[in-house]
Amino acid sequence: MNLDSLTHTSGEWLRGTGPESDIVISSRIRLARNLAAFLFTNRASAHQKAEIEAMVRDRISKLEIDPGLTYVHIPGLTPLDRQFLVERQLISRELANAEGPRGVALSPQETVSIMVNEEDHLRLQVMRSGFTLDETWQDIDRLDNLLEQRFSYAFSDEFGYLTACPTNVGTGMRASVMLHLPGLVLTKQIEKVFRALQKINLAVRGLYGEGSRASGEFYQISNQVTLGKSETTILGEIREVVPNIIMYEREARKTLTKESRQALQDKISRAFGTLQHATMMTSEETMDLLSSVRLGINLGMLEDKHITIPTINELFIHTQPAHLQKLMGTLLDGEERNSARARYLRNRLENGAGLN
Amino acid sequence: MKCQSCTKPATVHLTDIINGHKRELHLCQDCAEKQQLIKSQELNLSAILQTVIGQHISQSTDELGRLTCPACGIKYMEFKAEGRLGCPHDYEVFQTALEPLLQRIHRSVRHAGKVPQHGRIHAARLAEILELRQQLHNAVAAEAYEEAARLRDLIRVKETTDESG
């Protein structure tokens, strides 16, 4: 697979389709699996990791799935390409920055990724646009079943799937739903939502996972518990809570359009104007402004601008540092990026240009 | 510190903030119960549990400190410092120490989810293979290639004979 061919698209999770896609960006499930007869990655020698990688690579290439997966050997990638895969959420920052033999198998549509020699030997991921946890689970369960025919997983009857970190043991499953919640942020109710979620043991993270700031008012809600509950139970807990958050977000948006329509319209129009005309843009400011524009489109406040959600979703990813540099075809330092980012946004958001 | 209601030592310390006003209370167990502070605050069960586990662990620290996994060579103390286990066999070797930890993280110590239908390796066999693999690693490092070849074949046999069951 030529990574450059991915540069011009936006990837599965920002496709902007699927149920409740004005608020739910994507649904994602990850399964941690280890090979029974090997030491965990952190303890394995480079030689052993190479053995694991070669074996996994060979067996994955023989999986009966259509379309097949393409294997990418991470040490063979430039730092820019590694960052590019992180921005697309196809690999973790840990895998990008780790040492030694490691890689990722990807499906052409970017819905499936299997990381090899991350913290666990295998990290399966399936990602879909919109609120689609059940379908996502079916996909990853099927993939997992295919893989277990070819590998002996580290599994015990008592503790389930054995993982390098005890926080993942049991199902090894982390299911998450990414939400765009500008209404709850603007009406200052977001903290209340966080507290309620923490009480029921669900974690809230920013766009790029652990420790990342919630830029662009994107939030990922995921389970923390992996032991003592079945996958179905865990998924059910998330599936139950998300519609409530969606409802609160819709309420907040309604309140905003009713009680502070002028201020909201102003904020959205200014965001759009800045994106169209600024000459220097940091990636953080871009995220915040795009978030406002996204809200504006969903509320019908930018109808005369002829700009669509898929375009905005695409801009979210294209303005990330590695994507921007790949689009420009050259390495850029921070200052140069800010100028290139502003130029790119100006071009894409000229009158009518947002149509595609 | 003494109890604010009587003179016994204060063992219950509460801070609450109501409308921006901070209030601190230091009471002994009896007075706290009398004022129904403990009950109304719903004493945090998991916090108590943690203390209990802490005591349990500190009593047997020496024993735990010496505990080493024969398959991967990790010591329990290393796991505690790094937060990552060394191999699947560690769950068995460190079981008594891990269970309180799992209880604290997941509020459970038993798996209730999916069970793989293929390729299960029996626990005893697993530890054996892991140990053989360590020996293989050492043999390669010592450039004892004949021994390494022998071990590699042995591992292959052990893995395949078990994969059907």
Q: Does residue A58 have a pLDDT over 50?
A: yes
A261-277 vs A231-259: helix axis angle to the nearest 10? 100
Q: Tell me whether residues A34 and B88 touch, CB distance under 8 A.
A: yes
Q: pLDDT over 70 for what percent of chain B?
A: 72
- Provide the pLDDT for residue B77: 87
Pairing between β-strand A70-73 and β-strand B21-27 as defined by DSSP bridges: unpaired
A14-23, A93-102, A281-290, range with the lowest pLDDT? A14-23
User: If residue B125 lies in a helix (H) or strand (E), which one and from where to where?
Assistant: helix B123-141
Per-residue pLDDT at B37: 57
Inter-chain residue contact A158 with B121, CB threshold 8 Å? no
Angular region, A345: left φ>0, alpha ψ -120 to 50, beta rest:
alpha
Please tell me if residue B137 touches chain A, with a CB cutoff of 8 Å. yes
A160 → chain B, closest CA residue: B111
Partner B, chain A 225-254, Cβ-Cβ below 8 Å: 225-231, 233
Mean pLDDT of chain B: 77
Contact A36 B126 (CB under 8 A): yes
How far does B155 lie from chain A, in Å, by closest CA?
9
Percent of chain B exceeding pLDDT 90 equals 24
Whether chain B has a CB inside 8 Å of the CB on A151: the answer is yes
Pure H helices in A70-165: 79-87, 93-97, 133-148
pLDDT at B131: 85
Q: CA–CA separation, A255 vs A300, rounded Å? A: 15
User: Across all residues in chain A, what is the average pLDDT?
Assistant: 91
Q: How many CB pairs under 8 A join A and B?
A: 142
Q: What are the pLDDT digits (tens) for B48-92?
A: 544 544 545 555 666 777 789 988 999 998 898 889 999 999 999
Helix spans in A149-210 (H): 182-186, 190-199
Cα distance between the two ends of chain A: 25
Give yes or no for a contact between B163 and A37, defined as CB atoms under 8 angstroms apart: no
Give the C-alpha separation, B13 to B36, whole Å: 14
Q: Which residues, numbered 180 to 209 in chain A, qualify as contacts with chain B under a Cβ-Cβ cut-off of 8 Å?
A: none
What is the distance between the alpha carbons of residues A228 and A169, in angstroms, rounded to a whole number?
Answer: 10
Instruction: Give the best-scoring range by mean pLDDT among A146-155, B41-50, B58-67, B137-146.
Output: A146-155
pLDDT of A179 strictly over 70 = yes
H/E run at residue A288: helix A283-298
Find where tokens 């793989």 sit.
B116
* DSSP strand pairing (A173-180 vs A70-73): unpaired
Q: Which residue has the higher pLDDT, B17 or A66?
A: A66
Give the residue, B89 or B165, on which the prediction is more confident: B89
Computed over its alpha carbons, how large is the radius of gyration of chain A? Answer: 21
pLDDT at A213 exceeding the cut of 60: no
**Of B19 and A210, which is predicted with more confidence?**
B19
| pLDDT at res. A53 | 97
Chain A CB contacts of B98 below 8 Å: 166
CB A175 within 8 A of CB A28: yes
Nearest-neighbour CA in chain A from B2: distance (Å): 34
Nearest-Å Rg of the Cα atoms of chain B is 26
Question: For residue range B7-25, what is the model confidence (pLDDT) as tens digits?
Answer: 777 777 777 666 666 677 7
Mean pLDDT of B82-107: 93
Q: Which amino acid is at A156?
A: S
| Residue of A43, A141, A226 with shortest CB distance to B86 | A43
Choose the mutation target among A94, A146, A147, A162 for the interface with B, i.e. most B CBs under 10 Å: A162
Contact residues, chain A, for B74 at CB < 8 Å: 43
ipTM of the complex: 0.87
C-alpha B63/C-alpha B48 separation (Å) is 24
- When pLDDT is averaged across residues A269-293 and rounded to a whole number, the result is 95
Q: Which of A278, A24, A216 is nearest to A133 (CA)?
A: A24
In sequence order, the 6+-apart residues with CB closer than 8 A to the CB of A130 are A17, A18, A19, A20, A21, A24, A25, A26, A27
Mean pLDDT of all residues in B109-138:
84
Chain B partners within 8 Å of A202 (Cβ): none
B126 touches chain A (CB under 8 A): yes
